[in-house]
Amino acid sequence: MNKNLRGLRLAAAPAAIAVAMLVGAAAPASAWARDGYLEPEEMGLYYLVNRGGCVFDYNNNEETLTDNQFNGPAGCDGRTKGVNDNTESYWNRDNVGWYVYTDWKYGGIKGSIPSGYTGNASANYKNKISSSSWYW
């Protein structure tokens, strides 16, 4: 998938919502970013080590994480807490790579998380990630 196709995918989401409403179907329980459930084509930042606690799932650049909070999974540790400077592990379920940064607006120390990679944040990143952007 090239960058243009990715843009199309993101732009297509509202259309999918409209179709679901037209047919009266319940919104899918999965495949939506920021819903607290990490699905394929999403990048996830976890509140605790070893993919523990809540997860912040996203699939578009986050210039800052100060306006994001943990929403799920249901009953998870860390729910409603802020994501900024508050993540200890990650799992990239997206088909692209993701950079994480220790400052907002893609500043500070930059780390790369290849597609499919999961792990615990090293000392440089643990509870310090503040923005994130995807890459090929």
Residue 11 vs 29, nearer CB to Ca ion: 29
> For 62, which DSSP code?
B
Q: Shortest distance, CB of residue 106 to Ca ion, whole angstroms?
A: 12
Q: Shortest distance, CB of residue 114 to Ca ion, whole angstroms?
A: 20
Contact string (CB under 5 A) for Ca ion, positions 29-48, x = contact = ------x-x-x---------
| Interaction of residue 103 with Ca ion, rule CB under 5 A | no
Cα–Cα distance measured from residue 86 to residue 48, given in angstroms and rounded to the nearest whole number: 8
| Interaction of residue 115 with Ca ion, rule CB under 5 A | no
Query: Could you tell me how many residues make up the chain?
Result: 136
- Size of site (CB under 5 A) for Ca ion: 7
| Of 11-19, 52-60, 112-120, 121-129: span binding Ca ion (CB under 5 A) | 52-60
Structure tokens that stand for 122 in this block: 């090293």
Cα–Cα distance measured from residue 91 to residue 11, given in angstroms and rounded to the nearest whole number: 24
Looking at 55, 57, 71, 125, which residue binds Ca ion (CB under 5 A)?
57
Residues 68-97 that bind Ca ion (CB under 5 A): 68
Residue 39 vs 103, nearer CB to Ca ion: 39
Stretch (H or E) spanning 47: strand 43-48
Cα–Cα distance measured from residue 46 to residue 38, given in angstroms and rounded to the nearest whole number: 10
- Which residues does residue 113 pair with via DSSP β-bridges, in sequence order? 98
Stretch (H or E) spanning 26: none
- Kindly list the residues in this chain that would bind Ca ion in the complex (CB under 5 A): 35, 37, 39, 57, 62, 67-68
